[in-house]
Structure 1
Amino acid sequence: MKIKIPATSANLGPGFDSCGIALNRYLEITVKEATTAWVIEHTLGADIATDQENLLIQTALQLMPELPPHRIVMQSTIPLARGLGSSSSVIVAGIELANQLGKLQLSAQEKLNLATAIEGHPDNVAPAILGQLAIASYEEDSDEVNVVNASFPECGIVAYIPKHELLTKTSRSVLPETFSYKEAVKASAVANVMLAALLTQDIALAAKMMAKDRFHESFRSQIIPELTELKEVARENGAYGAFLSGAGPTVLFLTPTDKQQRLMDSLHAYGKDRVTVEALSIDRQGIQVID
């Protein structure tokens, strides 16, 4: 059995901690024979555990402590600590591992509830489970998660992925602890228009609103100083716009498809050997289980 989970990009500018899209980079885990202890085979680095201390198994055992151990092969094309949902994909995979091995028959909503409670917010786990565009809210006092899953407008997507890591904890440390009522009203109005534009397939207006985010990007630009310049590169190359992917440092660009290669060439020239520039597309399936 193989479990396949897509990469994700959260926030989309003003949709902070609420919105995300699924992308065509994947975590794949292949479940092999039963063993006496959990064995995780991977080439993802020495920091990633190869036994039951791995986040994948820790998550699965939260659901079913008695889950029988297996040998598992883990592969991933999702870069670690780059704002593309690498840890969220493992959490979602762990839930699906328990679901399959334990024959739990969890619904998509139940998977989302569990993943959000573990992750703390639904912006990455929702699109990882459902695919496409996911807009979700989480009420911690009741553990209630509400979600809208919708089609993302057709466009070119380019990822500008720096070769250095940026931990979410570090990126969140620059955010303010409080927000004035007046500023919150302005920020939510921008988010509302952005989401309405996405749901009506108006990618140009959506990207315009993404650029007006007030919730996090201006604060995070303190530790990602090239964000402002990259948005200028987007404008110069006819892209719809750009936004910080999750906590960063990856920046995603939305562009007309006929201008995608020109944009990629400019981003290569700007980033040189400090970055990887990749063309991506929307994953429209979410979790896949392949027998």
Structure 2
Amino acid sequence: MTAFKVTVPASSANLGPGFDAFGMALGLHDVVEVRATGSGLKVEVFDAGAGGVADVSTDETHLVVRAIRRTCAHLGVEPPGLHLSCFNAIPHARGLGSSAAAVVSGVAAGYALAGREIDASGALQLAAGFEGHADNAAASLFGGLVVAWCDGGEFHAERLTPHASIRPVVAVPSVRSATATTRGLLPATVPHADAAHNAGRAALAVHALTAKPELLLAATEDRLHQHYRAPAYPASTALVSTLRAHGVPATISGAGPTVLALTTAGTLPPEVDVTGFEVLELPVDLTGVQVAAQ
């Protein structure tokens, strides 16, 4: 393929207790239009990633470009000249998997440029290798709900279908956070009781997310990471606490600061103050990354 479009969904990781293990694809999409050229590189960025945002480059360091190059090398093909037009709807540094989406779109583009169908296992190794964990990447690749793990340096993921009644709502603040910074707030060890708590709640979460959503409030309780990261985004932490006090299964989305509410109504309680947040109902994306000829 020499001219095509890659559409990739946002994702929310952790979902409470599933730290670095759970991911869910959401119906907010970045689109990358790719055109193979004779030589050179041109990258255009529009929408959420444009307007002078410091972490969006337009050269060889752009994440999509890096992922294309790495994928082409993996597949043993010489990458062509490229003209990329990136239409970013996923907000950056908000805990909605923007980096993973960029990498996944580049991996998918690399397969398309090589004339190959996406190999699920190979694509996951390439995409997850950029971040060192597979939760966001697997969700953007496969859609739906994923349970991801790493075994001996090899990434794995199982895709599950969330219960049809689950209607995610996100509350996105204007402030940003960096995954590296929030990971730095995590302790080297945690109490055994907290680890045991999360093991039980993670197991319950799989059941709640796929079969019994009425258990989601209990299933999304976490003791491994959210309270340690609370100083990085106090307003988001407060909103999670308020929502949970109103019976809404709310968590920090990924590394934050976006708040994820796993509702069945598609709305938040009207009495909850969401000043400072943009509230969006985002359906679960069930398809994952898509490539279409242009």
Q: Would the TM-score normalized by the shorter structure come out above 0.5?
A: yes
CA contact (8 A) 1:158 1:277 kept: yes
Q: How far off its partner does 1:27 sit?
A: 1.1
Aligned equivalents of 1:24 and 1:132: distance in 2?
10
CA contact (8 A) 2:25 2:285 kept: yes
Residue 143 (structure 1) aligned with residue 153 (structure 2): yes
Matches within 5 A, 1:1-291: 1-43=4-46, 44-45=49-50, 46=52, 47=54, 48-65=56-73, 66-139=78-151, 142-153=152-163, 154-199=165-210, 201-210=211-220, 212-235=221-244, 237-239=246-248, 241-257=249-265, 260-261=266-267, 263=269, 265-267=270-272, 270-272=273-275, 274-291=276-293
1:251 maps to amino acid: V
- Measured on the aligned residues, the alpha-carbon RMSD in Å equals 1.8
Q: What whole-Å deviation, never above 9, does each CA across 1:166-188 have from its counterpart, x for those lacking one? A: 01111111101122444322321
Aligned equivalents of 2:192 and 2:240: distance in 1?
28
Q: Match of 2:32, SS?
A: strand
Aligned equivalents of 1:15 and 1:237: distance in 2?
22
Q: Which runs of 5+ in 1 are unaligned?
A: none
Q: Match of 1:24, SS?
A: strand
Q: Match of 2:223, SS?
A: coil
Q: What TM-score does the superposition give when structure 2 sets the normalisation length?
A: 0.89
Q: How far off its partner does 1:227 sit?
A: 4.0
Distance 1:72 1:230, change over 3 A: same
CA contact (8 A) 1:238 1:255 kept: no
1:160 maps to amino acid: A
Q: How far off its partner does 1:105 sit?
A: 3.3
Aligned equivalents of 1:150 and 1:83: distance in 2?
21
Q: How far off its partner does 1:35 sit?
A: 4.2
Q: Match of 2:106, SS?
A: helix
Distance 1:155 1:183, change over 3 A: closer
1:256 maps to amino acid: T
